[in-house]
Amino acid sequence: MPETAFEEELDRLAVESLYGPDEPAAQRQARLEAFERYRSLALPDERTPGWRRTDLAGIDLKPVSPAHSTCAIRISDADKQRGVVATSLDAATGNGMLATITKLRGGLTLGKFSALTRSLWQGGGFVRIPDGAVLADPIEIEWLSGPYPRLVVIIGKGAQASVVERQGTDARLISGVVDLFVEDGAILRYAHVEECSPNTVVFSHQHASVGRDAKLITLNFAIGGKLARADVEVELQAPGAESDMLGLVFGEGKQQFDFHTLQGHRSHDTRSDLLFKNALDDDSHSSYTGVITIDKGAQRSDAYQANRNIMLSEGARADTEPMLEIEADDVRCTHGATVGPIDEETLFYVESRGLSPDDGARLIVEGFFSEVFQKFGDARVTQALAAKVSPHLIRVAAR
């Protein structure tokens, strides 16, 4: 279906008519609120907070018309028997499976595009892992079409699972929204894999809330797109909640990657860790902005944040802005950021073992990335991701 850009002809009525009279009232309410939010915000430009480092020259941000977003959800037979539910999101809200519609209220920093998706989504994906289920295999979700993909994953108390969401569609503009709910004692590994075509502007707004003694490990893996932006927000809501946030970017050509993260310590006795690693070739550009917030009363919070950048070419550019906002005193909070080329000494060491400089460089970048993969803790997921990066690294080595 040829996409058409829409301007301001989209009004409340159009948003209401997307679903017809059967739409649950609370869901409609959430969509209309998001729509008002969308309308209140101007299209981002270089002066918009959070967009200052994005080069918007030649990038068309005009929203595209609403259309159905569909995904394929693959669950192993064994896990189906464990009671995992997978359906489209509108089916889930329509038949009451997703009863707590308040869960659709949305993330913290509702920007122009996540507000748009929250108001215009159709179709979407929904996964619910029942309490106590320990899944045998990763759940794979692959987006097939649609400009406003929306995914909700709920993992029940004490359950354990890995979920991989893949976005590889070719379109002018895609704006996705993901909501993750990690209930008490659950462990969720979630990987967002972005490998869109080099013409695609792709946004992903991910919001997670993590319950008591629960653990969430997220990995944002990005190698595609013309401009790829992800806003990843994790809120640790109860004591014992933990979050590991991982990121991996390989940039080439004129690709731009813009990652924003939030580690929100809402409760005392919570722990978060973050490691975002970027390797930038050609004229690619990465911009990382990360905030750790520790709320008043969130005592004994422990937070760490690291952003590491390897510059593979003269034209590459890395911006990094790691931030701390701390309002409790009994905390441990540290962040670090580095930017530099491949370490000369390491390269020398590798070459002294008989490798060519190019192979050495490739090995070092592989090693640089492997820390991220290891921390994710599910090799079935990360082996496939490593395989996706390696052709790019060989290209570097072959230069």
Partner 1 sequence: MALKEQALVDNDYKYGFHDQTASYSFKSRKGIDHDIVEQISLMKKEPQWMRDFRHRSLDIFLSKPMPPWANLELLGQINFDDIYYYMRASDVEGKTWEEVPEDIKRTFDRLGIPEAERKFLGGVTAQYDSEVVYHSMRKDLEAKGVLFSDMDTALREHEDIVREHFATVIPPADNKFSALNSSVWSGGSFIWVPAGVHVDIPLQAYFRINAESMGQFERTLIIAEPGSFVHYIEGCTAPTYSSNSLHSAVVELIAKEGAHIRYTTIQNWYKNIYNLVTKRAIAQKNAHVEWVDGNIGSKLTMKYPSVYLMGEGARGDVLSIAYASEGQHQDAGSKMVHAAPNTTSLITSKSVSKGGGRTTYRGLVKVYEGCDGVRSNVRCDALLMDPESRSDTYPTMEIDAKNVRIEHEATVSKVGEEQLFYVMSRGLTEVEATTMIVNGFFEPFVKELPMEYAVELNRLIALEMEGSVG
Residue 318 beta carbon to partner 1: minimum distance, rounded to whole angstroms:
5
Tell me the per-residue interface mask from 10 to 49 with partner 1, x by CB under 8 A, - otherwise.
---------------------------------------x
Q: Using the rule CB under 8 A, is 262 a contact of partner 1?
A: no
* Contact stretch for partner 1 (CB under 8 A) within 86-94, 123-131, 162-170, 316-324: 316-324
Residue 141 amino acid letter = I
Among 31, 118, 229, 335, binds partner 1 (CB under 8 A): 335
| 108-116, 247-255, 321-329, 352-360 -> range binding partner 1 (CB under 8 A) | 321-329
- Residue 325 binds partner 1 (CB under 8 A): yes
- Give the H or E element holding residue 285: strand 285-294
Cβ count within 10 A of residue 144: 12
Strands (E) located in the chain: 70-74, 85-87, 125-129, 139-145, 150-155, 160-167, 173-182, 187-194, 201-210, 215-222, 227-236, 242-251, 256-265, 271-280, 285-294, 302-311, 317-326, 332-341
Binding region for partner 1 (CB under 8 A) out of 122-130, 328-336, 350-358, 366-374: 328-336
Q: Interface with partner 1 includes 297 (CB under 8 A)?
A: yes
C-beta of 222 vs 312, nearer to partner 1: 312
Indicate if the alpha-carbon torsion angle 122, 123, 124, 127 is positive or negative. Answer: positive
Sign of the Cα pseudo-torsion (89, 93, 94, 95, in order): positive
Q: CB-wise, 245 or 312, nearer to partner 1?
A: 312
Contact region with partner 1 (CB under 8 A), list: 11-19, 114-122, 201-209, 291-299: 291-299
Q: Which listed residue (155, 309, 364, 373) binds partner 1 by CB under 8 A?
A: 309
Closest CB to partner 1 among residues 198, 340: 340
- For residue 122, the SS3 value is coil
Would you tell me how many other CB atoms lie within 10 Å of the CB of residue 24?
A: 18
Q: Does 225 bind partner 1 (CB under 8 A)?
A: no
Q: How far apart are CB 135 and partner 1 at their closest, in Å?
A: 38
Residue 292, beta-bridge partner list: 263, 324
285-294 and 139-145: which strand pairing? unpaired
Q: How many other C-beta atoms lie within 10 A of the C-beta of residue 164?
A: 23
56 makes contact with partner 1 (CB under 8 A): no
Q: Under the criterion CB under 8 A, does residue 326 sit at the interface with partner 1?
A: yes
Minimum CB separation of residue 343 from partner 1 in Å reads 9
State how far the Cα of 317 lies from the Cα of 339, in Å rounded to an integer: 10
Helix (H/G/I), strand (E/B), else coil: 107: coil
Footprint of partner 1 (CB under 8 A): 49, 53, 296-297, 299, 309, 311-341
